[in-house]
Structure 1
C-alpha cells in the first residue's frame, strides 16, 4: 500500500464515523478554544492599555489614598503644587460615581434619559496629563475652578449613553440632581483611568458631591530624579497628614512601570494556572482518544486481516491507526483555534466599547496545536501497536 492510501483510509474512517470523531475530539476542542480565548483577550486588553500609557510620553506616577480617618484632600493638593519641584501636569481627581455601585449609584440625566456613568472631579492639568483628545470645546479651566462654574466635560461614550445631540456644547445635563453645562467633549478611552464626565473640584465640593479621598497624578520633568522627587513628595504628604515617625504611610506612590511589572506577574500566575488546567484537560482527552481507538481496533479486526492479506505490512497498519488518532486530535485543535478566536473577538468587543484590535498570541496557539498533535500520536501508539500485532489468519477468521 502507498502512504497516500494509508492517509486516505485513515481520514475516510474519521469521516465515516463523524459523530464519534467529533465527540472524541471535543475534549481537545474545548481545551484549545479556552486557551486561545484566554490568551487573546489578555493580549488584546494589554495591548490597548500599553498603547494608551505609551501615548503619555513620560512615565505616569499616581498617589493613591489608603484606608483610615486621615485622607488626602485639598491641603495635600495645595502643598504638592507649591512645594514639589521636578513635576509637571500635577492633577487631582475625586471619584464621584461608579457603574458598579448599584443602588447608591449617582446617575447623569439629559431630559428623560438616565445613564449610570463614571463621574469624577478634575483639575485643569488633567487633560494635558492624560493626553485627552478634545473633539469639541475645551477642558475644565482655572477660571471654572475659581469662579465655581457649573460646567462639565463629557466623553463620546457619555454622549451616546445620554442620547445627546451631535454638537452638545452649551447643553444642560444633570448629575445627581445638579445641573451642569457641557463645555467640552473628549474621545472615550478605555483602560487608562479615564472616566465619562468631569466637573470642577470646587463645584463638587459646593454641591456636596465630592466627599471621597483625592487621587493625584503627575509626570516628572526629569525622570533620572525619580527617587529624589518621590522622597520629597512622601515627606510633604506625611507632614500635611501629621503622621508620627512610627506610623505607616496612609497613601501609596505608584509608578506606571511598577504597575506593569505587577500586572505581568499576575498574568504569569494566570498563565501557570491555565497550563495546569490545560494539562489535566489534555490528559482526559488523551484517555478518551485511546479508548476510542482501542474500540476501533476491535471493531475492524477483519479489515486489518484483509489489509494484511493484500500486502499491508505491520508498519503500515501501525501508521494507519496513528494517522487516524492524530487526525482526530488535529480536527479538535484546528476547530478549537477557530472557535477560540471567534469567542475572543466577541469578548473583547463586549469588554471595550471602543473598537479594539484582537491580538492573537502566536506562540501559545502554536504550542497548543503541537501538543494536540503529540497527544494524538502518543495516544494512538498502543492501539496502533495492538492492531499491527494481530495475526492475519486469525483476523480474517474473526469474520
Structure 2
C-alpha cells in the first residue's frame, strides 16, 4: 500500500498550517497517502529521528528502491538485559535464512546497540572533559584579569583608601569593599556568560534542530562559581588595600 507516516520535522517542513493526515506526499515521484504522524522524539547528536518518513518495506523495495532485498533491519528488544540474547537469536535466524553453514563467515553484520551506546558514552565523556578543561582555563584567565584590574584600582585609589581610614574606616571595611567590587565584576561576567550560553543553545536549536536543555540548576551553579572566583582572585588586592597605612596612603602620589 502507498501509505506513509511522517516524522514531526517533516510535517513542520511540508505542512506548516495544514493538517497532514489525509494529504499526499511524493517520494521519488511516487505518491503516498499520509495516515499518521509520529510522536516527537527530538534530535540526538547528528541524528534527527523526527526527520523521517515511514512506509511499508514491501512498497519501499518495489516502488522506491527497486530492489528485492533489505539493506538493514532495526530490531528492538523488550528489555535492555535481553540485547545479547536477541543478537544471538537474530544471528542464528539470519544464518538459517541465508543458508550459511556453521563454519562459514556470514554475509551480514549484526550490531548491538549496547556497544554503540558505550562508545557514544565514552565520546560524550571525552567531550565533557574537554569542555570542563576549557571552562577551568577560562575561569583562571578571567580571575587573573579581575585581580589585575583590582590591583590597578587599589593603586589608583590609594589616597581614597587613606582618607577612609583617616576618618575611621577599619581594615575589615576596606577588605569587604574591594571584595564586593571584585565579586561584582565576576558576577557580571558570569551573567553575561550564562546569557551567551542560553543564546547559543537557542541558536543550535534553531539552525540544527537539536533539542537543547538549559537547566536552571547549572545556571545557579555558574552564578555561585562566578562569585567564588571573584572572592578568590579579589582576596589579594583587597588584603593589599586593607593593610595600607593611612599616612602612607595620603602621601601617595
Same fold (TM over 0.5): yes
Equivalent residue for 2:3, pick from 139, 151, 160:
151
Change (3 A) 1:198 1:307: same
Change (3 A) 1:375 1:359: closer
- Residues 24-63 of structure 1: matches in 2 within 5 Å? none
Tell me the alpha carbon deviations over residues 67-88 of structure 1, each in whole angstroms, 9 at most, x when there is no partner.
xxxxxxxxxxxxxxxxxxxxxx
What stretches of structure 2 of length at least 5 have no aligned partner? none
Q: Say if 1:152 and 1:198, in contact at 8 Å, map to a contact too.
A: yes
Change (3 A) 1:155 1:279: closer
Tell me the alpha carbon deviations over residues 230-288 of structure 1, each in whole angstroms, 9 at most, x when there is no partner.
32222233452737747488423324x65555443332222211110011111111111
Match of residue 284 from structure 1: 141
Residue 332 (structure 1) shift: 1.7
Equivalent residue for 2:53, pick from 197, 200, 210:
197
With CA pairs under 8 Å and 6+ residues apart, which has the higher RCO, 1 or 2?
Answer: 1
Change (3 A) 1:231 1:325: same
Residue 313 (structure 1) shift: 2.2
1:297 equivalent in alignment to 2:154:
yes
Match of residue 166 from structure 1: 19
Higher share in helix: 2
Q: Say if 1:341 and 1:360, in contact at 8 Å, map to a contact too.
A: no
Change (3 A) 1:392 1:229: closer
**Count of aligned pairs:** 244
Higher share in strand: 1
1:309 equivalent in alignment to 2:166:
yes
More displaced 10-residue stretch of structure 1: 317-326 or 338-347? 338-347
Residue 163 (structure 1) shift: 4.2
Equivalent residue for 2:234, pick from 351, 355, 380:
380
Q: Say if 1:287 and 1:379, in contact at 8 Å, map to a contact too.
A: yes
CA distance in 2, matches of 1:167, 1:219: 31
Equivalent residue for 1:321, pick from 155, 178, 193:
178
Match of residue 370 from structure 1: 224
The DSSP-based 3-state class of the residue aligned with 1:182 is strand
